[in-house]
Structures are given as structure tokens and as C-alpha cells.
Structure 1
Amino acid sequence: MNELGPDYEEELEAFLIWMKDAGFTAYTQKSYLADVREFLGSLNGRSLESVKKLQVVSYLTSVRERGVSDATRNRKHASVNCLFKALIELELLTANPAAGIKKSKTEKNREPVYLDEVDLQRFLSAVEGKYRSRNLAVFLLMSYMGLRVGEVHTLNLSDYNAERRTLRVFGKGRKWRNVPVPEDVAPFLQQALNERLTPWLSKEEAMFISQKGRRLSIRGIQGIAADTFSRFQQEVPMVHRRPYSSHKLRHSFATMLLRKGADLRTVQELLGHSSIQTTTVYTHITSREKEEAMSRLQVQLEPYYIQKN
């Protein structure tokens, strides 16, 4: 993180206040602040009032030259754009030089990485260790209920209604949604709650507790998933290993639902997507499925031949 000194102290403090008021998660706040600090460090002390589009594009170009992905470049752009938007709303600035800059084109047709049902069962079988019941419940919420890592992180004990088998989830855009808990998942979730670690603070409401007695962090969940995926692929040669991560469990959930005939609108609701366009990325199908679909077509006409003169 860049050492900025007192140059932008007021702006950073205002940005943090704005994000907290807007309901951004602690993880998002941390990510956006890191991006914004990096951007401010590239200004060499220039006041934000004098920043033009050129300085923003210059920063984003330098980011790309470092070899980061288009998705990361777009996230950094979103962070900077959010900074200026916040400062305008708080009446500290009047113009947003980050507005109107085009996003990098990402691969629109790239299939999401996911596990099919057989591999998913193998992955879940690779969950082991002292905190197995907790970790298994965490992965089941993502792979069989479609929760994001951040949503699992923010779950509280009061969000689960065992009698109705529903889970209240606080998602992106500060929106709540109720997700039914599958009958096969409920016993594992209940076992995790029965074996919940004792929190450091008695008033801690977090559903999942870390070894240190605090709310299980996003980074903690990601680390547990990385370790489990490593065991899951330990017999696979390095060149053939896939880039699995905790978020790929959510991809797996959406893929399974659609392959079992769920309509796109239902999947959108369960995933908590604000736009159905976001959900369409999960409508990918394999070559085998294409061949099977085409094999169902039958031509009823008798073949005929055109004689050439």
C-alpha cells in the first residue's frame, strides 16, 4: 500500500464514510481503498480538483502494463470511479474524470470453471480435519445454495430458520433474499451449528467462527477452499489442474440447476443477481450436450439427387 502522507487524508476518510453509509462490506471497503490508494499514489501530489481524464487513463494503462487481467483493470477503474462519485455526493468535488472511460473487453464467451456433480461429491469428500463440520457446511451453502463467499462470511445465527428450512442472505446491493435449504443440506448445517466454535466475545452472532474465536473471514474461507481443492486435485498432473476457487462452487450450483431444468429467472433469484444478463453466463453447454441435442433431430424426407446435365 502506498504511503500517501497527509495529502489525501480528508478524501480517503470521506470515501470510507461514504462506503460504510452505502452498506459496502468490509471486504469491498478494503479492496476499494487499496485500489484508490494506488491511484492516488500515481498522482504525485496533484490535487483531485485538477485531475483530468488523462491522469485516470494513464493510471489504468500502467496497471495493464503490469500484466493484470482485464477484470482486475476494470475493478480498479470501478474503485476510482466510485471515489469521485462519493466525493461529488459529499460536495467535496464537482467533476468525475473517471466517468466515461471504456471498460476493457473481457472474454464474453468464456465458460465459467465449475465442477459437475460427480466431481463436486469428490471435492466435498476431500473436506477433512478438526473443523470438518464447519467447513463442509460452508462449502455446501456455496455449492448447493449458491451463496457468495462474502454472504457466507456475513451470516448470523438468526439468519437460519431451522423449522422452515430457510436462510436469510444479505447480498450485493444491500439486498436480502430468502434461500430454501435443501433437505439433504439441512443436517450438515445443523451439525455445524451444534459444533460451532466458542466465540471470543460472548455476543458474537456469526454463524461460522474461526479458530481464533472471531467471525470466519472471507480470506479464511478462500484459504480453506484452496487447501481442499489442492487435496482434491493432488492426483492430477500439474499441467491438467484447473483453476478452482471457492467462487467456482457457486458456478457449480448455477450449472447444476440449469441442467436439471430450472428456468433462468428462478436461478437469477436464487443467486441474487440484479440483472438476468449476469445469470446467462451459466447457460454454457458442453460439446457432448450439443451432439446429443443434434442427434434428436430427424429428417423425414427421402434423400433425392439432382442430376447434372
Structure 2
Amino acid sequence: MKQEIENAVIDYLHYIRIERGLSENTILSYRQDLMQFAHFISQKNLNLSDVDHIVVLSWLQKLRQADKSNNSIIRMVTSLRKFFGYLSQEKHIGHNPMLDIKPPKKATHLPAVLSVQEIDQLLAIPIPNKPLGMRNRALLEVMYATGLRVSELINLKMSDLHIELGLIQTVGKGDKERIIPIGEVATDWLTRYFSTGREQLIKGKESPYVFVNDRGKQLSRQGVWKIIKKLVVEAGITKDVSPHTLRHSFATHILENGADLRIVQELLGHADISTTQIYTHISKKRLSEVYDQYHPRA
């Protein structure tokens, strides 16, 4: 029984990797959710054909009792919906149990955003007279200047840079390519990093990647996360900051300075403008904070 469901999960993951071309991070997320569900139904001695909406609801209830967040449960419902949709399409099951399941409503969550002052504090921390300090300063400047996702940042290649034009070329979600302006300040730090820091890090070897670690290898997602967490602590910033926070801050600050929402959508590489619209809520929240702080009768 357990082998049947696990084999079905493996087949589905192969399908979304080869046929759908989904990213490894997305596939890993699906695998985690579906293997948890596979373990649950194998404990109940059920086959795939035995799974109905009652079984799915009992699994979701178990997640709630384990204090899983609403967003985690929504993600699980999405994973199961796609999985059973695939099984139904391939005629592996007679009835899709997810047709009778409504996903919980997603709570509105405004991501953390750094103020311009906090950005300045953070950017001032790396010591540029050392190779890693120079790399970290250039890395932060590029993230804030372009709003790149961390996956786009670590995969950025030297051939993707068009510094003389002030542009960066990147491939985002769904293999969607976009061109992003980079700005003079970030360009200046990149140029300085190339002439000193990067050369010392790669130690005469060749690497196609813009940002490398202390061994001259491609920087990892975890590596970027650790760098930013360390610098945030040193900057005395108490907000919960991740690499994505710089992307949020980039989008919020250019909107606050009058950028059109469609332009921000293009810069961020969002397929749907509704994803970009969360930043209008952040800007309104910021507007209220400024009003409360400065209006004499607020």
C-alpha cells in the first residue's frame, strides 16, 4: 500500500519536472507535502483508490491539530489538488477526492519591508577593503537595485550583465526572461567587486557566476541567507529579514516614489498583477504610519 502511493508520487514528480518544467524548489515542496500524505494513508492501510474527501479532510484536520499554519495547509491542499488531478487525468483513480474539498482562505500577510534608513544601515555594514566584504556590498546593492529573487541572484552569470547599458538579464519563474535596469550605484559596486574582490575569491580560476563564495564556487541560497542574517544583526535591525525582504523593499520604495504598478510587475517578473498589488497595501500602510507620526491631530 505504502509502495503504491510512493510510486505514484514519484511518477507525478517526474511528470512535473519533465513535462511541466517546474523548478527544483517547487518540486521539493510538492515532494515534502505528498510524502507526508502518503505516510498518513499508509498508516491507515488505505490504497489510493480508497482515498475520498473524508480521508483528505481527516488529514487536514490532523495538520490543524499539529498547529500547522494556515498557509501550510493551503499549500498542502494545492499539492493534493494537483496530484489527484494528475492521477485522475491518467486514469489511475476513478474519482478525484479533491473536487469536494474547498481550500481555506488565505490570510492577508504583508511581508516585512525595510525603511530607506534601514537599507542604508544594512549597506554600510560590509567592509569593502576585504574580498568578502566587497562581495557582500555588491550583492546587497544589486539585490536592492533590481529586486532579484535569491534564485535569480545566485544563478546570475557574467554574460547576463550589460553594464555599459546599465542592464541585467535574468530568467525567473517559468523560465520567463526579463531585462532589469541596475542603476549607477550598484553598477559602481559591481565594477569594484570585479576588479578586486571577485578576482581574489576565484584565485585565478574561471567561474561563470557573478557571486561566488570564499572557495570561488557558486554562492548557494543558504549562503545568501546566512550573509544577510549576519549583516542584519550587525546593523542592529530587529525586523525578521530574509533575502526576499530586499525584494519587497525594492518594490515598495519605487512604488512610494511614484512608479506605475505595471512597471513594478515587469521589474519583479510577476505573471499576474494581483501578485504585485500586495505592495500597494504596504504603501498604504506606510502612508498611514507617516500620517500618524506627523499630523498634529492624528
Category of TM-score, reference length = shorter chain: 0.7 to 0.9
Change (3 A) 1:216 1:46: farther
Q: CA deviation at 1:91?
A: 5.3
Residue number in structure 2 paired with 1:105: 105
After superposition, the Cα gap between the structure-2 partners of 1:31 and 1:137, relative to the gap in structure 1 and judged at 3 Å, is farther
Please say if residues 258 and 267 of structure 1, whose CA atoms lie closer than 8 Å, have aligned partners that are also in contact.
Answer: yes
SS in 1 for 2:146: coil
2:233 aligned partner: 230
- Measured in 1, the distance between the counterparts of 2:92 and 2:189 equals 50
| Alignment match, 1:256 | 253
CA contact (8 A) 2:154 2:211 kept: yes
Per-residue CA distance 1:15-53 (angstroms, 9 max, x = gap):
222232222222222222112111111112532233222
What residue ranges of structure 2 are gaps of 5+ in the alignment?
A: none
Is residue 2:239 matched to residue 1:242? yes
Superposed displacement of residue 122, structure 1: 0.3
- Which residue is equivalent to 1:300? none
Residues 224, 93 of structure 1: alpha-carbon distance in 2 compared, 3 angstrom cutoff: farther
User: TM-score, with normalisation over the residues of structure 1?
Assistant: 0.79
AA aligned to 1:281 is I
Contact 2:74/2:106 (CA < 8 Å) preserved in 1? Answer: no
Aligned to 2:8: 11
Equivalent residue letter for 1:198: I
Q: Does 1:63 pair with 2:63?
A: yes
Measure, in 2, the Cα distance between the counterparts of 1:192 and 1:98.
52
The SS at the match of 1:177 is strand
TM alignment of 1:69-218, pairs within 5 A: 69-88=69-88, 92-93=92-93, 95-99=95-99, 101-108=101-108, 110-128=109-127, 131-194=132-195, 195-196=197-198, 197-198=201-202, 205-211=208-214, 213-218=216-221
Normalized against structure 2, the TM-score is what?
A: 0.82
Provide, for residues 174-227 of structure 1, a one-character-per-residue CA deviation record: whole Å limited to 9, x for no partner.
Answer: 31111111121112223344543439x96x633323345543222222222222
Closer/same/farther in 2, CA of residues 292 and 267 from structure 1, 3 Å limit: farther
Contact 1:135 1:224 in 2 (8 A): yes
The code of the aligned residue for 1:280 comes to Q
* Aligned residues of 2:135 and 2:211 also touching (Cα < 8 A): yes
Distance across 2 between alignment mates of 1:33 and 1:124: 37
In the alignment, the residues of structure 2 paired with residue 5 and residue 209 of structure 1 have an alpha-carbon distance, to the nearest angstrom, of 42
Residue 95 of structure 1 deviates from its aligned partner by: 4.6
Q: Report the alpha carbon displacement of residue 137 of structure 1 after superposing the two structures with TM.
A: 2.9
Q: Which residue of 1 aligns with 2:41?
A: 43
**1:121 offset after TM fit, Å?**
0.8
What whole-Å deviation, never above 9, does each CA across 1:95-142 have from its counterpart, x for those lacking one?
A: 54335633333432x543101111101012223575223333332233
1:220 paired residue among 203, 218, 223:
223
For residues 175 and 9 of structure 1, the distance between their equivalents in structure 2, rounded to whole angstroms, comes to 32
Separation in structure 1 between the aligned mates of residue 270 and residue 23 of structure 2, nearest angstrom: 17
Residue in 2 that maps onto 1:304: none
Question: Please, which of 252, 265, 271 is the counterpart of residue 274 of structure 1?
Answer: 271
Structure possessing the higher radius of gyration over alpha carbons: 1
Choose between structure 1 and 2: higher helix proportion.
2
Contact 2:84 2:98 in 1 (8 A): yes
CA-CA distance at 1:242 after TM superposition:
2.1
State the SS of the aligned residue for 1:250: helix
Give distance in 2, aligned partners of 1:165 and 1:91.
52
